[in-house]
Structure 1
Amino acid sequence: MAAPKKGRRSPGAQGRPGRALVGILVAMVALVGGMFLSGNTTPRLGIDLAGGTSFTLEAKNEPGKPNAINNANMDTAVNIMERRVNGLGVSEAEVQTQGSKHIIVNIPKGTDADQAREQVGTTAKLGFRPVLSIGDPKPTKDPGGVPKPNETPDKGDDGKKPAQGDKGDKDGDKGDGDSDKSDATKPTSTPTTQGRALPSALRKAPTPTPTPTGDAPQKPTKEQADQAKQAEELQKQFAALDCTSPKARSAASSKAASRPTDQPIVACDRKGQAKFVLGPVELEGDRVEDASAVFSAQGGSGWIVQLDFDGKGGKQFGKITGELAKQQSPQNQFGIVLDGEVASNAEVTFAIKGGKAEISGGFKQGEAEDLANILSYGSLPLTFDIVDETTVSSALGEEQLRAGLIAGAIGLALVILYMVVYYRGLALVAIASLAVSATLTYSLMVLLGEAIQFALNLPAVCGAIVAIGITADSFIVYFERVRDEIREGRTLRPAVQRGWPRARRTILVSDFVSFLAAAVLFIVTVGKVQGFAFTLGLTTLLDVVVVFFFTKPLMTILATRKFFATGHPWSGLDPKRLGAKPPLRSRRRPAAPADTKEA
C-alpha cells in the first residue's frame, strides 16, 4: 500500500484543529466579556418569572357605531396593541381578549408602566384638519375674540398686516421642488393672544340677503340657522377653553375625538400652549403607511416624525396643501390632530407632493419615537378605557422555575452518568462540549435580552432543557461512528477522520429537522410558545457550532494522545472491548489470507 503523499489529508480531515479550538474559545470569551461589560449577568425574565403589570381595557360604544364591538375589531385591536407594546422594546408581552369587550395586557417587570399604559390605551385616530383660528391657551371672558361667521377682517386684531411669508395665491404658488420641506411643516410662531377670522367653512351662517327691490332681507333657511348656531357654540367653547389646565385639556381632547370627522372642533395643542378652531378632517390618518422618528438639524427642528402616505393619501395631501398655500395666515396651516389633540400645526407655503410629510413641534426623542410607533401600527378600531391595573407577582413563577431547574439538573446528571459508564474517557469530551454549549447559550440569552429584549419564560427554559438531549445526541452519533471504524480494524487517528463525514451528515440532517420544527412553531404560534421555539432553534444552531468547531477538533487532538490512541480500557476506545477485527493492513496482504490469521 503506497504511503500518502506529504501534505495530503484523509477524507474529512481537519488540518489545523488547534485553530478551530482557539476560535471558538475566543468567541466564548468575547460573549462572556460582553455580558459583563453590559453590566447585566442575568437573562431578562418574562412576566411569569419576574412579575410585571397587568392592564384590563374595556371597549366603549361610540356614537353612530352601535355594532362596532365585534370579534373582528377586537382581534384587530389585540394585534395592534401587541405590536405597539413590542415596539417599545418589550418582549414576551401578553395581549389577549377576555370575554366580548375586554382585553388583558400583561407587561414584564422592567418596562415603564406609564409609557405602556399610554401606548395601549391610545386610540391613535389621526386626522389632518385645516386651521381656522388660533388663540392664547387661557380662557377669555369675551367670546368676541373669535369673529362671527359673517365677519371677514383683512387684518389681524393687532391691526398689523399678515407677514410677507403668509401671502396668498402668488406666494403659495411659488413653491418649487427644491424648497425647504421644513417650511411646510414647521411649527407656527407663538400663538396670537386673539383669534383670527374663521374662513368660509364656518361662514355659512345666515347673512341678511336684500331682496331685488331693496326691501327687508329674506329669512335665513334652517340649514343657515343651524350653521350659525354651530359657529356661535364654537366661539363660546373657544373663548371658555383653558388649555393650561391638564384636566380641561384632557376633557377637550376627549370631546374633540368623539365628534364626527366632518364637523369642526375646538382643541388644544399637546403642550397646552395654544388652542385652535379646526375645520373638518381633510385627510384620514389611515392613509399613513409608515412613520419614523428622525433627528433633523435643519432649521433647529430637532426630533421630527416622518410620514409616508399611500398612493391615494399622497394625492389628497398634495391637493390639500396646494389649497392651503393660497390662504393667509393662520388659515394656510393644517393641524395634525391625534385623538382630539393637536400634535403639530404646520404652515404651508407650497403644495407638498410625493406622498411624504413631517410632523414637527419641539419633540423630545422619546416623544417622537412614541408618536411614530403609534402611527406606524395604525389606529385602533375601537375606543378603550383602562378599567383595572394590577401588579403581577412572580412568586408562582419562581417556584415553577425552581422546579424546572431541578428537573433539568437531574436530567443533565443522568446524561453525564450514562456517558461516564458507557463511554468512559470519551465522557470528558462530551462534558466539555456541553459546558461550552451551556456557556454560549447563557451568554447569548443575556445579550439578546439587552439587544432585542428577549425574555426568558418558563417554556423557554423547557426549550433549553430539551436542547441538552439534542446536543448529547450529536456527540453520541460521532462517538459511535468512530467506534464503528475501530471495530473495522482501524487505529484511532484514521477512525476519527473517516468517521467524521458520516457523522457530520447525520448530525446536520437531525439538527436541520429540529431547527425547521422550531422555526415553524415560532411562526405559527404566539405568546409564550414562541419563547420555547426561539430557545430550541437557538440551541440547535449552537449544537452545530459546538460539534464542528469544538468536539471534532478536540477529538482530532486527543487521537494523538497515548491514553486514547493505544485504546486504554478506560478511554472508551478499547479495541478488545469493542470486538475489533485485526488491523486492516494485515488482512490486505495477498500472501496471508485473513481467515488463516484469524484461525
Structure 2
Amino acid sequence: MARPPQGQQHPGRQLAVLGLIFIILYLVAFFGFGAKGPISERLHPKLGLDLIGGTQATYVASLESNGQAPSQASMEEARRIIESRVNALGVSEAEVVIEGNRNIVVSLAGEGNDELKNVGQAAQMRFRKVLQATGDVAAQAINPPQPSAAPSAPAPGASGGAPSAPAPPAPSGGSGGQGGGELEKAPAPSTPPSAPASAAPAPAPSPSGSAEPVPADKKALIAQVEKKVGPAIYAAAAKLTAPVDLQTNPTAGKQFAPFNTLSGPEVNALSPQMQYFVPTISCDQLNGRPNGAIDDAKSQVTTCQSGAKMLLDVAKVVGTDIATASPQLDQQQGQWVVSLDFTSAGQAKWTALTREAFTPASGDTCLTAAQAVSSGATHCLVAVVLDKEIISAPEIQGVLSGQSQITGQFTPVSARELANQIKYGALPVTFEPATAQTVSATLGIEQLEAGLLAAGIGMALVAIYAFFYYRLLGTVIFLSLILSGLLTFAALVALGRSTGFTLTLAGIAGFIVSLGVAADSFVIYFERLKDEIHEGRSPRSAVPRAWARARRTIISANTITIMAAVVLYVVSVGVVQGFAFALGLSTILDLVVVFLFRHPIMTLFANTKAFLSPRVSGLGRVLKNATTDEPVKGRRVKEA
C-alpha cells in the first residue's frame, strides 16, 4: 500500500505552530510597544481620520514676485516634501492633497497633532558669518532719555550719562527657533564661550555681489515707504553707512521715528544695510517680514536673535550642501543634538567658512564673541539661519573639517523636527502659517456601520452556503475565516502601535476583498479533493494528494494578489496605500491559516467516521458512489 506524501503525518505540530503565532501576536498586542491602560484600550487598532476624526491643516502658498500663484510643478514638489515630513513624524495614512492652485491640505487622524504646525515651513538653511550686531534699541531711539537741567560733568573714569545699547546675547545661550544652541565639531570643543560683545559699531561692510534690477512691485513698496516716512527722512536713512551711535548722541535716532510705523512687507523692501543701520526699525518689524524674506544666499541680510539685530554676510554654505541630518543623544553631555553630515562639495565649503571665521584675514569685519580689549578674542560668529530665524550663532573656535552638530535646548521632538526639515529639503514655495481645524468622524462612522452591516450579511450568506454545500467542510471554512480575522486584528493592533499603521475605510475594503481570495483557496482545495475521489482513491488517501496538487495553485493565486498589492502600495499614495497594505497583509495571513490550520485539520477529519459519511462530510454523491463500490468513470475504488 502506498504511503501518503511525506510531511503530512503530524498535523498536531502545524496546529501547535499556529497556536504559538497567536500567543506571540496577542502578547505583543497586550504588552508590546508601550501598551498601557485597560484591555479595551490595548486591543484597539489605530483608526483613520474618516473613522474617528482628527486634525486638518491648510497651508496657503505665497504669491510669487509677479503676483501669480506658484506653478503646478512647484506645488506638487511642495506636496511631496510635506508628505515626506509628515510620514517622518511616525504617522501614516496621512492625506496630503493640493486644493485649488495655492492650498495644500494635510489631514491626520486623532487628536493632538501639534507637529503639523512645522511641516509647512520653508526650511531654507543658510550659514552666514555675522558682520555686525547691535541691540534692538527702537524704543530708545524714538524716546531718548532727557538730560537733567544742570548736568554735572562725569567723574574721571565714569561712563557718562548716555545709556549704552544692549549687547547681543552670548552665543552659548539658548536662542529662539528650534531650541537654539551652538554649532560645533563632534565632539564639542571644550573652550568656554567668551563674554558678550559690546555694541560698539564696526566699520560698515561693503555690499557683496553685483547690483540686480529692482522688481516693479518692490519699487512700488519703496515709493510707498518713502511717502510714508517722508522724502527727507528716507534720503537721510539711505545715506547711513553705519548704525546710528546713540551712545554719544541719544537724540540722533529720533528723526527716524517714522520708520517704526512700517509694516513687515514695507521693511522688507528696504536694503539689508538700511534695515540694520536705522535704529527705529525693530526686531518685531523684521520678524514680520514675509516668509522667504532672507532666503537669497547671494545677498547680505539683517535679522534678529534674542533681541539683537544682526547684519549677516552672504551665505557661503546652504542647506543643499548638507547630505543628511539626524537627531542624536549626546552621551557625554546628556543632551539632544542635530548631527549634520555634509556632501563632498558642501564639506569643502563648510571647512572654508569655518577657517575664514576662525582666522579672519587682516581688514576683515566681523562680530567677535567678545570685542573687549582685555578678552583678546579674534574669532567670528557664524549664524545658522533657518528661514527667518537664527537658531544658533556660535563663535567658531576651530576649523571644522568633519561631522558637525547643532546643540542647544533640544527636546527629542524638536530635534527630530529640525532634522526632518533639513533632511527633506527646502520647499520650492513659501507658505503662510497653517490653520488647523478638527474634523468630525460622523460621516465615517455611518459609512463604517453600513460597511460592517454589509460585510456581516455577506459573511452570513457565505457561511450558510458553505454549510449547505460543504457541510462538515463548511465548518473548516468558517473556522478558517474566524482564525484569519483574529490574526488580522492582532496584527492591526501591533502595527498601529509600532509603525503607526492607520486603519481607514479603504483598509477595511482591502480586508473584505481578501475574503474572496480566501474563498477561492477553499474551492480549489475541496474541488481537487472531489477529483481525487472521482479518480478512485479513498477519502483518507485523497486528502494529502489533493493538498499536494492544490497548494501550488493556491500559492500561485495568493502570490499574484500579494504582488499586485505591493505594486499598488509603491505607486500610490494616501488611502489607496492603505487599501493595498490591508489586501497584502490579509492575503499573507490567509496563507498562514491555509498551511497551519486548513490542511492539518482536514488531515485530522480524514481519520474520522464523520468524514466518511456522505451526509456529514459534504462530499455528497461523489463519496456515496465511492463507498458503494459502484463504477465511477470506469474505475473501482481501491486503496492507493
Which TM-score band applies after superposition, normalised by the shorter structure?
A: 0.7 to 0.9
Quick check: 1:350 aligned with 2:403? no
The question of whether the paired residues in 2 share the 8 Å contact of 1:253 and 1:268 is answered with: no
Q: Give 1:71-220 correspondences, 5 Å limit.
A: 71-112=72-113, 114-120=114-120, 122-133=121-132, 141=140, 181-183=186-188, 189=193, 192=196, 194-195=198-199, 198=202, 201=205
Q: What amino acid maps onto 2:198 in structure 1?
A: Q
- CA change 1:514–1:497 in 2 (3 A) is same
- CA change 1:451–1:389 in 2 (3 A) is same
Quick check: 1:10 aligned with 2:4? yes
Of 65-74 and 444-453, deviating more is 65-74
Q: State the Cα RMSD in Å.
A: 3.6
Q: Deviations over 1:468-507 (max 9, x none)?
A: 1211221221122222222222223321111111111010
Quick check: 1:508 aligned with 2:562? no
Q: Give 1:280-319 correspondences, 5 Å limit.
A: 280-298=314-332, 300=333, 302-319=335-352
Q: Distance in 2 between matches of 1:110 and 1:563?
A: 55
Q: Taking structure 2 as the reference length, what is the TM-score of the superposition?
A: 0.73
Q: Distance in 2 between matches of 1:450 and 1:501?
A: 39
Q: Distance in 2 between matches of 1:94 and 1:10?
A: 53
- CA change 1:387–1:315 in 2 (3 A) is closer
Q: What amino acid maps onto 1:418 in structure 2?
A: Y
Q: Distance in 2 between matches of 1:429 and 1:394?
A: 37
How far apart are 1:74 and its partner, in Å?
0.6
- CA change 1:90–1:250 in 2 (3 A) is farther
Of 9-18 and 439-448, deviating more is 9-18
Q: Deviations over 1:362-403 (max 9, x none)?
A: 211111011011111111111111475332111111111111
Quick check: 1:362 aligned with 2:409? yes
Quick check: 1:580 aligned with 2:604? no
Q: Taking structure 1 as the reference length, what is the TM-score of the superposition?
A: 0.78
How far apart are 1:76 and its partner, in Å?
0.7
Q: Deviations over 1:423-479 (max 9, x none)?
A: 101111111111110001111112111112111111111111111121122122112
Q: Distance in 1 between matches of 2:608 and 2:278?
A: 91
Partner of 1:326: 359
Indicate which of 507, 515, 518 corresponds to 1:471.
Answer: 518
Q: Distance in 1 between matches of 2:242 and 2:25?
A: 71
Partner of 1:214: none
The alignment partner of 1:132 has SS state of strand
Q: Deviations over 1:234-261 (max 9, x none)?
A: 555678646xxxxx38826758844643
- CA change 1:478–1:351 in 2 (3 A) is same
- CA change 1:235–1:13 in 2 (3 A) is closer
Q: Give 1:247-262 correspondences, 5 Å limit.
A: 248=284, 251=287, 257-258=293-294, 260-262=296-298
Of 306-315 and 511-520, deviating more is 306-315
- CA change 1:203–1:407 in 2 (3 A) is closer
Partner of 1:146: none
- CA change 1:531–1:10 in 2 (3 A) is same
The question of whether the paired residues in 2 share the 8 Å contact of 1:261 and 1:281 is answered with: yes
- CA change 1:90–1:595 in 2 (3 A) is closer
Q: What amino acid maps onto 2:199 in structure 1?
A: G
Quick check: 1:24 aligned with 2:26? no
The question of whether the paired residues in 2 share the 8 Å contact of 1:430 and 1:475 is answered with: yes
Q: Deviations over 1:204-247 (max 9, x none)?
A: 9xxxxxxxxxxxxxxxxxxx9675587874555678646xxxxx
The question of whether the paired residues in 1 share the 8 Å contact of 2:272 and 2:300 is answered with: no
Quick check: 1:47 aligned with 2:14? no
The alignment partner of 1:366 has SS state of helix
- CA change 1:18–1:255 in 2 (3 A) is closer
The alignment partner of 1:437 has SS state of helix
Identity %: 35
Partner of 1:168: none
Q: Distance in 2 between matches of 1:191 and 1:75?
A: 48
- CA change 1:110–1:41 in 2 (3 A) is farther
Q: Distance in 1 between matches of 2:57 and 2:319?
A: 26
Indicate which of 535, 545, 550 corresponds to 1:488.
Answer: 535
Q: Deviations over 1:13-34 (max 9, x none)?
A: 4232211111111211221232
The alignment partner of 1:506 has SS state of helix
How far apart are 1:308 and its partner, in Å?
2.3
Q: Distance in 2 between matches of 1:20 and 1:373?
A: 45
The alignment partner of 2:329 has SS state of strand
- CA change 1:445–1:61 in 2 (3 A) is same
Q: Distance in 1 between matches of 2:48 and 2:542?
A: 47
- CA change 1:188–1:491 in 2 (3 A) is farther
- CA change 1:225–1:504 in 2 (3 A) is same
Q: Deviations over 1:117-169 (max 9, x none)?
A: 2222x1111101112345667878379xxxxxxxxxxxxx99xxxx9xxxxxx
Q: Give 1:441-590 correspondences, 5 Å limit.
A: 441-564=488-611, 566-573=612-619, 577=623, 579-580=625-626
Indicate which of 239, 245, 268 corresponds to 2:304.
Answer: 268
- CA change 1:504–1:198 in 2 (3 A) is farther
Q: How many residues align?
A: 522
Q: Distance in 2 between matches of 1:596 and 1:430?
A: 28
The alignment partner of 2:327 has SS state of strand
The question of whether the paired residues in 1 share the 8 Å contact of 2:63 and 2:70 is answered with: yes
The alignment partner of 1:129 has SS state of strand
How far apart are 1:182 and its partner, in Å?
3.6
Q: Distance in 2 between matches of 1:274 and 1:226?
A: 19
Partner of 2:458: 411
How far apart are 1:576 and its partner, in Å?
5.1
Indicate which of 424, 430, 446 corresponds to 1:383.
Answer: 430
Q: Distance in 2 between matches of 1:541 and 1:256?
A: 49
Q: What amino acid maps onto 2:61 in structure 1?
A: A
Q: Deviations over 1:27-81 (max 9, x none)?
A: 1122123223324322212111111222222211355x66671111111111111
Quick check: 1:434 aligned with 2:481? yes
How far apart are 1:190 and its partner, in Å?
7.8
- CA change 1:231–1:434 in 2 (3 A) is closer
Q: Distance in 1 between matches of 2:467 and 2:122?
A: 61
The question of whether the paired residues in 1 share the 8 Å contact of 2:629 and 2:636 is answered with: no
Q: Distance in 2 between matches of 1:359 and 1:493?
A: 71
Q: Distance in 2 between matches of 1:188 and 1:54?
A: 46
The question of whether the paired residues in 2 share the 8 Å contact of 1:288 and 1:310 is answered with: yes
Q: What amino acid maps onto 2:386 in structure 1?
A: L
* Structure 2 stretches lacking a partner, 5+ long: 37-41, 143-163, 171-183, 209-237, 244-270, 361-366, 370-378
The question of whether the paired residues in 2 share the 8 Å contact of 1:305 and 1:358 is answered with: yes
The question of whether the paired residues in 1 share the 8 Å contact of 2:291 and 2:430 is answered with: no
The question of whether the paired residues in 2 share the 8 Å contact of 1:24 and 1:549 is answered with: yes
The alignment partner of 2:626 has SS state of coil
The alignment partner of 1:526 has SS state of coil
- CA change 1:435–1:451 in 2 (3 A) is same
